[in-house]
Each structure stands twice: as structure tokens, then as C-alpha cells.
Amino acid sequence: MRVAGIMSGTSLDGIDVAIVDISDEKSRLIKFCAFPYSKKTRAAILAVSNTETHTAAVSRLNFALAEQYARALLKTAEHAQIALKTIQLIGCHGQTVFHERSNTLQLGEAAVLRERTGIPVVSNFRSRDIAAGGHGAPLVPFFDFLSFRDNHRRRVMLNIGGIANITVIPAGASISEVIAFDTGPGNMVIDQLIAASTGNREQYDRDGRIAATGQVNNPLLTELTKDPYYRRKPPKTAGREQYGREFIQRLLDTGLSFPDLIATAAVLTALTIAQAVGGEPGDLIVSGGGVHNRFLMNQLHALLPYMRIATTADYGIPPDAKEAIAFARLAYQTWRRRPSNVPNATGARHPVILGDITL
């Protein structure tokens, strides 16, 4: 079955589209494209993220984002030189603008996407897991287990997006033994500091160059790592609620230079990831935008010398494409009427079929 996965994450960098041929046994990527958000769209999303805002702004953005998702899929099919009608299903995560323990909201109206493409859409993946007592996240561990489980080696899948999260797959594990959770900030804090320091001219620290010029402020780093979230047992999730405007203002109020703040934020990401990975050797397989931050990746190598660190590219999956591919797989599971949450990861009472289908 040919499925398109559409993903836009908490980093707010844009829309990822993966066209994937999926069977019960495997997934084969046909084409992946990334479409950056304009500054206007990014600002509009930030304006309704985790704030008290007028319902009209949320509703308008819900429809506007769906139009962008549709255009992104049409362009991806064009780049792949495949007929749109060969795509049988869309799995669209939508843009998260609010997420907490008992409720969640992703924008991107499925009816608009269905109308513009003529393809059935699976959307609203997180709500059913929450209804079953879970956090509604993380949902990618199902894909991680299917794609990366190894009979002989412990594997830890690390995705560094806006938030960093891991899926721990013990050697020879069954799906009930998989553990997954958000470790804390990924790129989100770094990106916001870059935007603040450049007047929004830049949105991320290219190759970690600015972090490399800064000095880590150890007193600030020690204070930040005291957050009880890092010691809380999973299941647990994090988001812009913890690492948004208030967190950034707290950093700016220290009066430290931007390079020092950015270096400290990058080490915070690396330290909290290393703490979550733990001391047992194995493979650390990294995906997400953070793989391009050399400073951050060097920190991980230094903190985790006993882990064999690679990226998903070494396993045939582009690091930036993994989550879009994962939501194509989740949509396939939903279409086949099969559960795809991992209760041990989300905290749900039982496995459930995720998402709504718009025919």
C-alpha cells in the first residue's frame, strides 16, 4: 500500500512529507521532501501555541495549515514523478499547538486535505491514546520497534527534534518490553535563542557553530538540571509548555551572552539525553534535525563513549524523514484496524487503534 506521511513537529521548522510503500513486513521510502515554514506561518503557530488565544485564530490556522499540507504533498508527488492517484492513504500528524497529560490539539483540518488530494486521511493520532489513559505520546516507538529491533543488541532510538525523545529496545525484546519517553529539550531552546539573538533572521544554529564559540555556564547548567522532570519515571512527555517563552526569558534574565546561553542549552540537551539513555552499552541510533548540530553530536559522543552512535541514515532512513515515515506506518496500521500505540511508552491502559479516518 502506498501511503504519504505528513509531519510538522515542535521545532516549527516546516512540513515533512514521506511517500512510502508499506506492507505488513516492511516500509520502503519512495520520496521525502521538506518544506520550510514561512516566517509568517511560524509566527502564526507560535501565536496560538500554549497561550490563551482567540478561537478564530486557531480555527483559521487549522484550515490554512491543511492547505499547506496538501500543497506539500502535491509537490512531493511531482518531485517523485509519481501520479497522485497511486497514493492510497495519508497519515497526517498535524501541528501540535497544545499538549498536556490529559488533552492535546493538533491543527491541520483533515477534511481540507482529503478534498484537495482526493485521498483518505488518517489524522488526530494522539487523542485515542489519551482517552485510554495515556499521554498521547510518544507514538513513534511502534515504528522504532518494527524497524530497528535486534535479537542480539540493545538499541536506543534517539530523535532530536524540538523535544528529544528515546525508544529503548532491549535485545530480543517483545513490544511489551519497549520503553519510550521525552528526555527533555532537543533543539527547541537552542532555536529560540538563535531567533532572539538574530532578530528572527536565523532559526537554528547551523552545524552548532555558535554553540562552539560559547562557554558553558556550569552554575546555570546545574540549576537547569535540577528540574524534577529529568528524574521522573516514564511514561512522561515534554513540550513547549516547559521550554517555551517563560523558559527562554529565564535564560535571558541571566545576562549571559547568547553564545554562552546557546552552548549551555546544547549541553543541557546532551546531558539529559545521556542521563535517560543510562549506562548499559548498545547502539544509539539518532534521527531528527539535531543530527546536523555537530556541537551537540560531539557532546553525545563524549558523554556516551560506551554506546555505538550512528544515525538512521546508516540504516537506510534519512534522519529528517523518520517521523514522517513513522506516521505513514501508523496510518497503515489504522487503516488495517490494528492498534499501534505502545502502552508501556504512553501509559495507556491497553493497546488502541489510533486516529480518525476521513474518507
pLDDT tens string 74-109? 999 999 999 999 999 999 999 988 887 788 899 999
Give dist(CA 267, CA 259) in Å, integer. Answer: 12
Burial 301-329 (b: 16+ CB within 10 A, else e): eeebeebebebbbeeebbbbbbbbbbbbb
Q: pLDDT tens digits, residue range 126-175?
A: 999 999 999 999 999 999 999 999 999 999 999 999 999 999 999 999 99
CA atoms of 337 and 53, how far apart (whole Å): 36
* CATH topology agreement for domains 2-136+322-358 and 141-315: yes
Q: Return phi, psi of residue 170, to 5°.
A: -60, 155
- pLDDT at residue number 56: 87
Domain spans, the chain: 2-136+322-358, 141-315
Identity of the residue numbered 255: G
pTM > 0.85: yes
pLDDT of 62 > 90? The answer is: yes
- Assign domain 2-136+322-358 to a CATH class: alpha beta
Instruction: Verify cis geometry, omega within 30 degrees of 0, for the bond prior to 259.
Output: no
Q: Topology of domain 141-315, per CATH?
A: Nucleotidyltransferase; domain 5 (3.30.420)
